[in-house]
């Protein structure tokens, strides 16, 4: 049986917390689809194409991981990919309420698709893309939080 999972997110930008989860799920599933949400309503710093490119570069070591962007419902995307699992990252307890609501909604929309929650390593549990953008905007070195090419792209986007 081919075990497939989808890991959706905005990834604006991808962090080491995201990559920690991708590394771990790549060892648990035969195929992992990292689904980059366009999320234009969130006003992302990077375009969907830029986020896909940065993620593709970051996941090159994992041969069973594919990256692409998607629009619409994640349960529809998962079904299209023949995936029975959607992976969601939980950093802090504050993430749980939203993620729980989303998981229950997705279950109602498609009961064949399960949501699996994963926590990043403790050293990444406080990281969020929003926080990375905020501190980068204030001139901080973010190289401990994101891959080197992402840190460079952040510098290029944030003119300080």
CATH number reported for the structural domain that contains residue 47 in this entry: 3.40.50.620
Q: Is the pLDDT of residue 160 over 60?
A: no
pLDDT confidence of residue 159: 67
Tell me if 50 is assigned to some domain. yes
Q: Is residue 149 in a domain?
A: no
Active site residue 42: yes
> Is residue 155 among the annotated active site residues?
no
Q: 90-118 pLDDT, tens per residue?
A: 987 777 888 999 999 999 999 999 999 99
Q: Which domain covers residue 17, as residue numbers?
A: 4-124
Residue 129 bears catalytic tag = yes
Per-residue pLDDT, averaged over 109-131, amounts to 92
Choosing from 42, 82, 121, 123, which is the catalytic residue?
Answer: 42
Radius of gyration, alpha carbons of the chain: 15
Question: What is the number of domains present in the chain?
Answer: 1
Does 55 reside within a domain? yes
Look up the pTM and report it.
Answer: 0.93
Digit-coded pLDDT (tens) for 47-62 = 999 999 999 999 999 9
In the set 91, 107, 155, 157, the catalytic residue is 91
Confidence of residue 157 (pLDDT cuts 50, 70, 90): confident
- Catalytic residue selected from 26, 81, 88, 129: 129
Helices (H), the chain: 16-26, 48-58, 74-80, 93-109, 129-137, 148-157
Residue 125's pLDDT is what? 86
């Amino acid at each position: 049986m081919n075990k497939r999972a989808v890991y959706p997110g905005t990834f604006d930008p991808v962090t080491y917390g995201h990559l920690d989860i991708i590394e771990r799920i790549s060892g648990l599933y035969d195929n992992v689809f990292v689904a980059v949400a366009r999320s234009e309503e969130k006003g992302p710093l990077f375009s969907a194409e830029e986020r896909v490119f940065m993620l593709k570069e970051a996941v090159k070591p994992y041969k069973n991981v594919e990256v692409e962007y998607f629009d619409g419902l994640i349960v529809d995307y998962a079904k299209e990919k023949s995936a029975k699992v959607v992976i969601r990252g939980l950093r802090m307890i504050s993430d749980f309420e939203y993620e729980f609501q989303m998981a229950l909604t997705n279950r109602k929309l498609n009961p064949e698709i399960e949501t699996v929650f994963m926590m990043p390593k403790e050293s990444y549990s406080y990281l969020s893309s929003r926080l990375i953008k905020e501190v980068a905007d204030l001139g901080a070195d973010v190289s401990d939080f994101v891959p080197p090419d992402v840190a460079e792209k952040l510098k290029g986007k944030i003119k300080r």
